[in-house]
Amino acid sequence: MTQSVVVQVGQCGNQVGCRFWDLALREHAAVNKKGIYDESLSSFFRNVDTRSGGDGPDIYKGKICSLKARALLIDMEEGVVNEILQGPLRDVFDSKQLITDVSGSGNNWAVGHKLYGYQYRENIVEKLRKTAEHCDCLQCFFIIHSMGGGTGSGLGTFVLNLLEDEFPEVYRFVTSVYPSGEDDVITSPYNSVLAMKELNEHADCVLPIENESLFDIVNKIHQMINSGKLGSTVKQNSLVTSSAGSTKTVQEKPFDAMNNIVANLLLNLTSSARFEGSLNMDLNEISMNLVPFPRLHYLVSSLTPLYTLADVNVPSRRLDQMFSDAFSRDHQLIQTDPKHSLYLACALLVRGNVQVSDLRRNIERLKPSLHFVSWNQEGWKTGLCSVPPVGHSHSLLALANNTCVKPTFIELKDRFMKLYKKKAHLHHYLHIDGMEQSCFSEAISSLSDLIEEYNELDATKGGPRTDPSRLKIAV
């Protein structure tokens, strides 16, 4: 069994990470009734004997003693991390997994990347190595961060570079929360574009998520419940925004519902690594099958169902609706419509009592309405995990490598250029050691190149389907 390590950076990263660990414990508790430490738990948790005091040795078999998350928590302000340590999850982390400062990064990528990055480099490397040493077969690092602030974008991408240097063979999955156009951080376009250059160069897969989409999904769910259209058929505890049944007993915060959506995305993404299934999908298969070009590794994700109906026997009609929803605009975690753009590849990760025949039937049904590149018409990757999310009978996570991410990047570039043309707020960045104006021009150039690569692919859409030319061998 493989293990993964979660690195959560900055306020947003740690708040999303907190919800992930909370809901992961809820999910394992629902399956693991006897409290035995098994391979499923070992993928994200260590079982530690803490009776001797401090960080005791790992226990690989038998009863659960004390579960410790395979995680590193980094923030240059103490607030969120302290809150986690005083909350219901305090026993899942210990002080050896934390790196905090008091002053924060002031919403400045340069402070996070250039200043704190070099200041904390040795400390971060040492803690990453320690965490890796506790893994038998480390397969993947998950970085959770936001793009708009200073610590998440700056230090988050610095950690990404470190991971490539120190663990080049281990996959790097990045969950990046992008700011909305009405973001209250005025320098967020700078931070996001500077971070994008690092993501382009050093990540294996990036799952972009927009705050606006999360907000819309939460509102949609509330409207659906409160309108009474669905009557008593909706189960409250099975909403993807709900924390019911988790360790959380304190009052939910405003962003918890949005963060729960991202946490559910990560739970579904890693379900095949944690549970049995008739068609298990390894995490490395996602990168291998969905990323044909190294820089085009941005995967658009969609979750369905967003709420679960109360009956357990799911008619195939409703199952088919779940697949249709995954390709609709309303269920995407960035504001886009993948149906009208070009697919390079697509993965469907299904959980629950769903048959392979259901998968095949729905792929055949949806295929005619989706535009795939001519050289990868069969670019589908599927995974079936038999354990559904808590309170659900089934669920689907779709990951699409699709040119529909382009408008998000174009909008980000436009917002960057509005500030950059006026040289607004540049002095806050340029007074940091190692930060030069060329960093900005290189970052916007990297983003422009990325947009151009998507443009070139879009230009082939709807063209005649041609077989790739064969290598001719002279005799």
Averaged over 258-266, what is the pLDDT? 94
Task: Output the pLDDT for position 160.
Answer: 98
Averaged over 375-392, what is the pLDDT? 92
Where residue 244 falls among pLDDT bands split at 50, 70, 90? low
CATH tag for 407-460 (out of 2.160.20, 1.10.287, 1.10.3210, 1.10.600): 1.10.287
Averaged over 122-133, what is the pLDDT? 95
Measured CA to CA, the distance from residue 419 to residue 242 in angstroms comes to 38
Q: Which fold has domain 302-404?
A: 60s Ribosomal Protein L30; Chain: A; (3.30.1330)
Whether the pLDDT of residue 232 is over 60: the answer is: no
- Delimiting residues of CATH 3.40.50.1440 domain(s) in the chain: 3-227+252-289
- Delimiting residues of CATH 3.30.1330.20 domain(s) in the chain: 302-404
Averaged over 133-137, what is the pLDDT? 92
Measured CA to CA, the distance from residue 262 to residue 155 in angstroms comes to 21
- Delimiting residues of CATH 1.10.287 domain(s) in the chain: 407-460
CATH code: domain 3-227+252-289 is: 3.40.50.1440
Question: Model confidence over 288-343: pLDDT tens digits?
Answer: 999 999 999 999 999 998 875 444 444 556 889 999 999 999 999 999 989 889 99
**Is pLDDT larger for residue 465 or for residue 456?**
456
Task: Output the pLDDT for position 296.
Answer: 96
Task: Output the pLDDT for position 314.
Answer: 46
**Is pLDDT larger for residue 61 or for residue 25?**
25
Whether the pLDDT of residue 16 is over 90: the answer is: yes
Whether the pLDDT of residue 133 is over 50: the answer is: yes
Task: Output the pLDDT for position 280.
Answer: 84
Averaged over 378-405, what is the pLDDT? 93
Question: Model confidence over 136-189: pLDDT tens digits?
Answer: 999 999 999 999 999 999 999 999 999 999 999 999 999 999 998 887 889 999
Task: Output the pLDDT for position 309.
Answer: 47
Task: Output the pLDDT for position 229.
Answer: 57
Task: Output the pLDDT for position 310.
Answer: 44
Whether the pLDDT of residue 28 is over 60: the answer is: yes
Question: Model confidence over 162-175: pLDDT tens digits?
Answer: 999 999 999 999 99
Mean predicted lDDT score pLDDT of the chain: 88
Task: Output the pLDDT for position 95.
Answer: 83
CB 419 within 8 A of CB 261: no
Averaged over 87-111, what is the pLDDT? 92
Top-ranked range on mean pLDDT: pick from 78-87, 225-234, 315-324, 400-409: 400-409
